[in-house]
Structure 1
Amino acid sequence: MRKNVSGGSMSIPSITSTQLSLSYCRNTKPDINFHSHEEYEIYYFHGGECNYIIGDQIHILSPGDLILMHGLTLHRPKTFENKEYHRTTLHFDQVHFRGVLRQMGMEYLLNPFFSLQSYRISFRDVKKEEVEQLFLSMNQFKQMDDAISQYRFQLAFLDMLAFLYPYCQESLAYNSEPQSEKEKNVQKIITFIESHYKEDITLDQLGEVLFLSKYYLVKIFKEVTGVTIFNYLFHRRINQAKIELLMNTKLSITELSYLIGFKHPSHFSKVFKEITGVTPEHYKEVIKAKMP
């Protein structure tokens, strides 16, 4: 085990990959469905083509775009066939780093992640080069296995948080790519689902609300997001189920299934296991075991 590197009364402890994980400038295109996680995330788009869906927002990305994410909000990148996709992702355990930053009196650097939930910043020209250099430095330190380099890996990450914070506080406007009519309609579908996912949603209802053919809605939703409307709806409900269990483990599985919009608890349990890999009962027990 590495010894902590410290100076004075403050110490930055050694870390594990679950506490700080950097995936630098990847160009593969894995089939990632809608998902959520407890770690905070920094996502940076280097280039290619990607639509990033977070909650009820569709971000049409340009090189230099960076997104801060809470993690628990349902999200997914949508890549395109025959198009490049280069990105860097950084996940970190907010509990661990909240403790580190508290020692420095800089705990506020994490405020954008939970106050804004997801926040997009567009870096261009010199600022784009600067943020990419920060990611590069982090990756270089990560590749080295000595204690000092791992310490500098954490320091580079903290420097990244300090670099990004002013952009969030000032709520700087960014120049987003204009949405096509097709993407605007998909945005309307997602926004409608976000407001009504606990209700009995049908394709006929969506068509009536948006004044469009339900067959057209099915087609464009799959083109823009990569999944079907009901696949997204079920992921939204299961994500909410996980949040509800985190907040109240006393909920029965039957109560939970009705709460998030399923008519039958058996259907809820089946969908929950398909999406998470475990039954809701097992997930609930794992949460309860983690509680103090």
Structure 2
Amino acid sequence: MKPLHPYRIFTHFYYKCRGLNASTTFHSHPQYEIYYFHSGSCQFIIGDRVIELQPGDLIIMNGMSRHCPKVDEPAEYVRTMFSFEPSLIQLFSRELQSFDVLRPFELLSNHHIRLSGQAKAECEELLERINRHYFKNETIRYHRLLMAFGDLLLFIYEQCRDAMEDNRRSSSERERYVKKMIDYIERRYAEEVQLEDIAAELHMSRFHVMKLFREVTGMTVFDYLYKRRINQAKLLFFYKDEQTVTDVCYQVGFKHLPHFSRLFKKHVGLSPDQYRKKIRESGVEPTA
């Protein structure tokens, strides 16, 4: 049976995972990613960059660059990895939101940090704390998880301070354009979004927008938009249980309730009504 745990703030999460899995092939995604290398022999490839990993290496990624590890001995390859939607910042306190803890991901895109000594020990302690609270069906553990993850983002911010001041962006022109598209969607996902409007903002053709977004992210613009709206709906169901399914449907940008319900069930595995009911009963995110 799949364990229940509070609101699933990470898209994927692996702690001290050993060996190879699907993420060890070239892939890209629109979520941000944090990767920590514990042990083994591995080269990490991001775009056209190859990093010879050492234990204690931390990598933050915007996810859009194709990336994968190249592992010599799978049995000895141990890492912690999680990807997450930038929108999860809404789960943090206003003080933490105002500090802009996701700035390293936005400015540096893909950044390699070599940790040692006290910084390495602190990072590993933070990862252990996150893992300790992640698969727990308790509200208090959920809040401790958020605190631990917020602390990790502050740690990353501190480690990236000098690089951010230099602002030496390593992303390609294609990735910068797609980042602008995602920024546009983030600002207007609750409104009517048209490809023509995105194309006009970026001064490119509608066809070029569709092609570029799919090539870099592996999904269409509207697949990404709908996923963003569904993720926001889950947040609203979790924190504002007084709102009806119809209220949430329109608030996140859908015009038709059947369309919202169909896509919600496709992405989440439960209808909006079922999801909302289970949250009210248990106070935690339901699993399908």
Tell me if TM exceeds 0.5.
yes
Query: 5 Å matches for 1:37-116?
Result: 43-44=35-36, 47-50=43-46, 64-67=57-60, 77-78=63-64, 80=66, 84=70, 88-89=80-81, 116=100
- TM superposition shift of 1:219: 1.1
- Kept after mapping to 2: 8 A contact 1:221/1:227: yes
What is the count of residue pairs matched by the alignment?
223
Aligned match of 1:228: 220
Deviations 1:203-234 (A, max 9, x none): 12211221101111111111111211111100
Give the counterpart letter for 2:161 in structure 1: L
Aligned match of 1:9: none
CA distance in 1, matches of 2:63, 2:113: 21
Task: Find the structure with the greater CA-based Rg.
Answer: 1
- TM superposition shift of 1:66: 3.7
Aligned match of 1:24: 17
Aligned match of 1:181: 173
Structure 2: gaps spanning 5 or more residues: 7-12, 72-76, 84-94, 106-110, 132-147
TM-score for the superposition, normalised by structure 2: 0.58
Deviations 1:138-170 (A, max 9, x none): 89xx9xxxxxxxxxxxxxxxx999998666458
Give the counterpart letter for 1:249 in structure 2: D
CA distance in 2, matches of 1:196, 1:280: 22
CA separation of 1:113/1:232 partners in 2, compared to 1, >3 Å: closer, same or farther?
same
Residue 237 of structure 2 corresponds to residue 241 of structure 1:
no
Residue 161 of structure 2 corresponds to residue 172 of structure 1:
yes
CA separation of 1:209/1:162 partners in 2, compared to 1, >3 Å: closer, same or farther?
closer
Aligned match of 2:270: 278
Give the counterpart letter for 2:22 in structure 1: K
Q: Please, which of 182, 187, 190 is the counterpart of residue 190 of structure 1?
A: 182
Aligned match of 2:141: none
% identical equivalent positions: 25
Q: Which has the higher contact order (CA 8 A, sep 6+)?
A: 2
CA distance in 2, matches of 1:35, 1:170: 21
Where 2:192 maps in the other structure, the secondary structure is coil
- Kept after mapping to 1: 8 A contact 2:34/2:82: yes
CA separation of 1:190/1:78 partners in 2, compared to 1, >3 Å: closer, same or farther?
closer
